[in-house]
Amino acid sequence: MKIYLNGKFVEKEQARVSVFDHGLLYGDGAFEGIRSYNGLVFRLKEHIDRLYETLHTLMIAMPIDRKKMMGLVVETLKKNKLKDAYIRLIVTRGEGDLGLDPKKCYGKPGIIIIADKIKLYPEEFYQKGMEIITVPTIRNCAEAINPRLKSLNYLNNILAKIEASNSGYLEAIMLDPQGYVAECTGDNIFMVKNNILSTPSQGRLEGITRDAVLQLAKQRKIEVSERLITRHEVYVADECFLTGTAAEIIPVVKVDGRVIGNGKPGGLTQAIMKSFRYLTKKDGVKYQVS
C-alpha cells in the first residue's frame, strides 16, 4: 500500500509521523472520508471544499491549492490501483514544540492520503434495516466546537460510539444540547412523515451524502424540510434512514426500542437508495487504473 505523506509516496510501513505533530498531541487538524466507485471519486470537489473550509477556520494555511489536492487524491488511488476505495485525507497542524499554541508549530501542515478498500455494513442491514439507540453523550454545539468542522478532534463522537457499542448497537443518535436530534456518530439522519422528508437543520456535520439526498429528493419533487426534530417525531415517523460516505443510505427500522413505521425499510427510503446508487455511477471525478 502506497501512502501519500508530506510530498512523497511511501510504503505503509514507512508512513510515520512525528510524536511532536500537533495532530497527534492535540487533535489539531482536519480530515475527510471520501469514496470512489468504479473509477469515479464521488463528489471529490465537495469533500475538498469542506476540508479547506474547516482548515480556514482552524487557520491552518495550506501550501497547496484545492485543485492540486484533488489531483493528489486521484494519484493516490492510481498508485494503489484501486477502483473502489475509501480515501482518508488528513491534514494536521504539523510538527511543533509542546504547548497548545499553534504558533509553536513550524508552519508546515502534515498532509496524509490513505486509499484503502472500503469495509461495508453487512448487506442484511440494507435489506432489513438497522436498529439504533440514542446515547447520553451530546453532540458538540456551535458555541463550543462547531459540528460543521470535520476536525481531528472526534472524541465527542467516539464516546457516543462506545456507548452504542456497549449496548450492542453499531450506530447511535446524538442529541444537541437542547435535546433535539442532531445526527449519528458518523452519519446524518433523515425521517419521513406523511411523504415529507425531514432532517435536522443544525447541530450536525454538513454531510456530502446528506446534500446529495436533499438534491435527489428535490429532483423527485419530494417535499423537504430542514428543521429541529425531536426524538418523539422520529419514533412516530413512517420511515427513517441514515446517510454517510461509509454507510451510503441505510434504512433504520427501530429507534430506542420503538418500531418505525411498519418495521421495514420504507418506500421512499428505497427509492432514494436506488437513485443514490445511480448517482454514484455518474457524479464525480473520473480516473483510470492501469
Cell triple for residue 126? Answer: 440494507
Q: Which is nearer to ligand PXG, 80 or 156 (CB)?
A: 156
The rounded distance, in Å, linking the Cα atoms of 136 and 143 is 19
Among 199, 209, 269, 280, binds ligand PXG (CB under 6 A): 209
Provide the CB-side half-sphere exposure for 194 (13 A, CA): 2
Query: Which of the following is catalytic: 119, 128, 150, 282?
Result: 150
CA distance 290 to 123: 30
Q: How far is the CB of 75 from ligand PXG (least distance, A)?
A: 20
Tell me if 21 contacts ligand PXG by CB under 6 A: no
Minimum separation from the CB atom of position 248 to ligand PXG (A): 9
Nearer Cβ to ligand PXG, position 95 or 190? 190
Active site residue 150: yes
Does the footprint of ligand PXG cover residue 186 (CB under 6 A)?
Answer: yes
Q: Which residue is nearest to ligand PXG (CB)?
A: 33
DSSP 12: G
Residue from 129, 203, 244, 284 binding ligand PXG (CB under 6 A): 244
Q: Which helix (H) or strand (E) holds 82?
A: none
CA nearest to 91, candidates 133, 62, 53, 120: 62
Q: Which residues are registered as beta bridge partners of 50?
A: none
Instruction: Report d(CA 56, CA 79) in Å as an integer.
Output: 29
One of 246, 254, 270, 275 touching ligand PXG (CB under 6 A): 246
Interface residue list for ligand PXG (CB under 6 A): 33, 157, 183, 186-188, 205, 207-210, 243-246
The residues annotated with a catalytic role in the active site are 150
